[in-house]
Chain A
Amino acid sequence: MMDKPTTTLKAIESTPPLADLDRICDMQEGRMAGKIFWDSEIYEQELEKIFARCWLFVAHESQIPEPGDYVATTLGEDEVLVVRQKDRSIKVLINACPHRGNKVCFAEAGNARGFICNYHGWAFGPDGALRGMHESGVYEQSGFDKSRQGLREARVDSYKGLVFATFAADAPSLADYLGPMTWYLDVILDNDEGGTEFIGGCIRSTYECNWKIAAENFVGDILHAGWTHDSAAQAMLGGSVTKVSELPESYQVNWNGHGYEFARDLVGNAAVLGESAINKYLHLHSPKAAERLGEFRARMLGAVSSFTVFPNFSFLPGQNTVRVWQPRGPNKIELYTWVIVNRNAPAEVKEKWRRGAMMTFSPTGVFEMDDGENWEYCTKTSRGKVTRYQDLYVGLGMNSRLSDTELPGNVFRGQLNEANARAYYQRWKDLLQARTWAEVPDRNGKLD
């Protein structure tokens, strides 16, 4: 798919960075201030310098197979439509009318020949072009130029089924943005020749938490699982969560704020679904996956692992839950949750994953219930004037970097580590500091 630069978007003015960024976040020292989860000035900076700037996940291609198919989502708090075009390419259009700004599409998904604004009847094609309107004669009399009044477009690109968009004309290409992390993404996206698809539907829920605490949890916080999720593991398996410190081999890897943490136990994550059909599928499929990915990655398919693509797109291999932590203010998110499966997996296995993912990681999921409360109170305690400036410890696993490894990215020994969290917050800080993409420093190879 073409990575086409924006033509109709007006650039937004870059604001100066916050004066106290070092106080808020110092990853060399492994500390940050509680304020990072609460402050509304920080949040405004994030909307501008992260969400209006980074490549953000918008859809899986399987959600919009046919021309005219669309799904609605948001880039930060900006509402957009992801629309399959006649030529099979995908456009991401701002879901706001260029006349007075009304929303032009109110459905979350569907198939449309175009979008007609409810207010004064401006009618747009699936490509966003303004085609006509109610009382079009009066516009003609005033020399109106339809060609300049289409729905605004974001840049779009995709990686193996995952569609991303960005508002930033100066952002690197998606390939450069993801960098070597695609090697790890392929564990999920490319372990089978048929690729992947989303199961239908999206579950949305609302948390009173900062978006970063959730994204950080998936970037590299398996540490919490053995403690937080004991009750769910007891319920699903009749025993505790895998003791991560006892796994023979595990890593954290990161690159430009993206992070994957993983063991190579093949079914550690998947096992908590308590579905033998899924474990069996993974065992049978692993040798086939090895032909595509090699032995090393074939052992990661459903292993104890999690991933965040900076800033807010996460998933859990094995449980196959995919999620976006949509920012809705400094202390609120909407969580969009989907289930991803191999397109060629047997129907009964897909069905087990559909149910299993929801049973464990959804608003009714026995695992997710204990996460929610943690994230909300990590956020809420930071509202105190004093708490806001107290240090939070992010120092676990300093000096655990591996230099004698062939693995791509910045590689760290052991999953019980805060290396990925530090890299995540460092990237966050670098983006908040930089006025343009060109100013964002390259820290790869330089992380401790």
Chain B
Amino acid sequence: MNTLELVTLEEERAVQAFLLREARLLDEDRWDDWLLMVSERIHYWMPGIENRRREDARGGFNAEHMALFDDGYRELQRRVARFKQPSAWAEDPPTRNVHLISNIEVYAGENPGEYRAFSCFVNVRSRGLDEQYQIAGRREDVLCREGDGLKLLSRRILIPNATLPCKNINTFL
């Protein structure tokens, strides 16, 4: 889509509220409630960032290359299932999360009832007494109306790091 078409203030407010609520649910470890905000048709994608030269036509990321997330609903369910296992040793004591969401822009989506939303995030995680990891990035989402509410239909997450500065991403972004 080439043109960005503004939406009404109410619609914009609804999308913003969606994105902020989502962040809060993740910070509260309410993964099942978070999944309810996700469409079963979801494509949740976070490509690996490649440090290539400007003239390289392959660009800084690629749909066929390796990714940190390249998930459908089943994969997201599986990740949530692990978080909830009593034997997820590396989640107990729990990881403590803050998801900061900003730079929200909301436009009309390609299909009626869909929205295109851009946002930035900073995710700060702490584990144990002193571990702290910070990942920032940009997201491009498509939200759709399903049933009586909005759902996340697709998300593309881009971080600036070609090497992840930490050992894992044990949350959703």
Q: Is there contact, CB below 8 Å, between A373 and B90? A: yes
Residues of A at the B interface (CB closer than 8 Å) are: 106-111, 199-208, 228, 230-232, 234-236, 274, 334, 337-339, 354-355, 358-359, 362-364, 366, 368-370, 372-374, 376
Flag whether B82 is at the interface (Cβ < 8 A).
yes
Please report whether the interface of chain A is mostly helix, strand, loop or mixed according to DSSP. Answer: mixed
Write the chain A residue with the least CB distance to B87. A230
Q: How many residues of B contact A (CB 8 A)?
A: 40
Q: Mark B32-70, 1 if CB is under 8 A from A, else 0.
A: 000000000000001110111100101000101111111
Q: Mark B77-93, 1 if CB is under 8 A from A, else 0.
A: 01101100111111100
Interface members, chain B 73-114 (any A CB < 8 Å): 75, 78-79, 81-82, 85-91
Q: Is there contact, CB below 8 Å, between B89 and A370? A: yes
List of B residues within 8 angstroms of A234 by Cβ: 81-82, 85, 87
List of B residues within 8 angstroms of A207 by Cβ: 167
Residues of B at the A interface (CB closer than 8 Å) are: 46-48, 50-53, 56, 58, 62, 64-71, 75, 78-79, 81-82, 85-91, 127, 162-170
Q: Is there contact, CB below 8 Å, between B70 and A358? A: yes
- The distance in angstroms between the C-alpha atoms of A1 and B59, with both chains bound, is 31
Q: Is there contact, CB below 8 Å, between A274 and B167? A: no
Q: Is there contact, CB below 8 Å, between B168 and A372? A: yes
List of B residues within 8 angstroms of A359 by Cβ: 71, 75, 78
List of A residues within 8 angstroms of B62 by Cβ: 200-201
Q: How far is the CB of A137 from chain B (nearest CB, A)?
A: 29
- The distance in angstroms between the C-alpha atoms of A203 and B51, with both chains bound, is 11
Among A109, A205, A355, the residue within 8 A (CB) of B166 is A205
Q: Is there contact, CB below 8 Å, between B167 and A363? A: yes
Q: Is there contact, CB below 8 Å, between B78 and A236? A: yes
- The distance in angstroms between the C-alpha atoms of A234 and B48, with both chains bound, is 27
Among A208, A231, A358, the residue within 8 A (CB) of B88 is A231
Among B64, B68, B90, the residue within 8 A (CB) of A363 is B68
Q: Is there contact, CB below 8 Å, between B167 and A231? A: no
Q: Is there contact, CB below 8 Å, between A235 and B79? A: yes
Write the chain A residue with the least CB distance to B172. A364
Q: Is there contact, CB below 8 Å, between A235 and B162? A: no
- The distance in angstroms between the C-alpha atoms of A274 and B81, with both chains bound, is 14
List of B residues within 8 angstroms of A362 by Cβ: 66, 68
Given known A234-B81, A362-B68, contact A201–B48 (CB-CB < 8 A): yes
List of A residues within 8 angstroms of B86 by Cβ: 231
Q: How far is the CB of B88 from chain A (nearest CB, A)?
A: 4
List of A residues within 8 angstroms of B82 by Cβ: 231-232, 234-235, 366, 369
Q: Is there contact, CB below 8 Å, between B52 and A235? A: no
List of A residues within 8 angstroms of B70 by Cβ: 354-355, 358
List of A residues within 8 angstroms of B164 by Cβ: 203-206, 363
Max chain B C-beta neighbours (<10 A), residue from A202, A231, A274: A231
Given known A231-B82, A373-B90, contact A199–B65 (CB-CB < 8 A): yes
List of A residues within 8 angstroms of B58 by Cβ: 110
List of B residues within 8 angstroms of A228 by Cβ: 89
Q: How far is the CB of B102 from chain A (nearest CB, A)?
A: 23
List of A residues within 8 angstroms of B51 by Cβ: 106-108
List of A residues within 8 angstroms of B69 by Cβ: 358, 364
Q: How far is the CB of A425 from chain B (nearest CB, A)?
A: 23
Write the chain A residue with the least CB distance to B165. A206
List of B residues within 8 angstroms of A208 by Cβ: 167
- The distance in angstroms between the C-alpha atoms of A363 and B71, with both chains bound, is 14
Q: Is there contact, CB below 8 Å, between A109 and B52? A: yes
- The distance in angstroms between the C-alpha atoms of A412 and B25, with both chains bound, is 50
Q: Is there contact, CB below 8 Å, between A370 and B75? A: no
Given known A108-B50, A108-B52, A234-B85, contact A339–B66 (CB-CB < 8 A): yes
Could you list some 28 contacts between A and B, CB below 8 A?
A108-B52, A110-B52, A110-B56, A199-B64, A201-B47, A201-B65, A203-B68, A206-B167, A207-B167, A231-B85, A231-B86, A231-B88, A231-B91, A234-B85, A235-B81, A235-B82, A334-B163, A339-B66, A354-B70, A358-B68, A359-B71, A363-B164, A366-B82, A370-B88, A372-B167, A373-B167, A374-B90, A376-B167
Q: Is there contact, CB below 8 Å, between B65 and A200? A: yes
List of B residues within 8 angstroms of A230 by Cβ: 85, 87
List of B residues within 8 angstroms of A366 by Cβ: 78-79, 82
Q: How far is the CB of B142 from chain A (nearest CB, A)?
A: 20
